[in-house]
Structure 1
Amino acid sequence: MSAAPQPGIVKRSVSIAGHRTSISLETEFWEALQALARTRGQSVQALVGAVDAAREGRNLSSAIRVFVLEACQTATTGRTD
């Protein structure tokens, strides 16, 4: 018996570096990631690939959440460090 999906969690498949992987994120993080990709003129897949390349050992879902959080903090404070 498999576990039921958590409320508000959406699982999507993307191709990164030539292989398919699934990512589970809350709907709000998917929406924020899509908005960031649009703002940067990238596809979500390309942006996820960039996050994947820089994630330094974190699991991909966590790395995406941190990326979105940092992008929001930068937009709010104007800081780039």
Structure 2
Amino acid sequence: MAFPGMGVMRATDILASLREAPRWTSVVMSNRALARPRRDVLVLGYTAEGHRDGSEPYRCHCTSTYVEDGGHWKLVQHQQTMAA
């Protein structure tokens, strides 16, 4: 995964950071796009605006890629770019 200000993160670092992260109170997604290059691969593109208590809204453009594995969809890639 790649995040603004954090760069590319490995799975163990991502899991550790999620344990300490404040939770979102709301998230709104817009400008959604879906591509399915293969039956077992989904690529989502979207703009997200998240809100946390006491903080300015966080707005970013995202892509997330999922692969079907044994009947379950698994996230294999996620990237965020800050929106203006």
**TM-score, length basis structure 1:** 0.23
Which protein has the larger Cα radius of gyration, Structure 1 or Structure 2? 2
Please state which structure has a larger fraction of its residues in strand. 2
**TM-score, length basis structure 2:** 0.23
Higher relative contact order (CA 8 A, sep 6+): 2
Please state which structure has a larger fraction of its residues in helix. 1
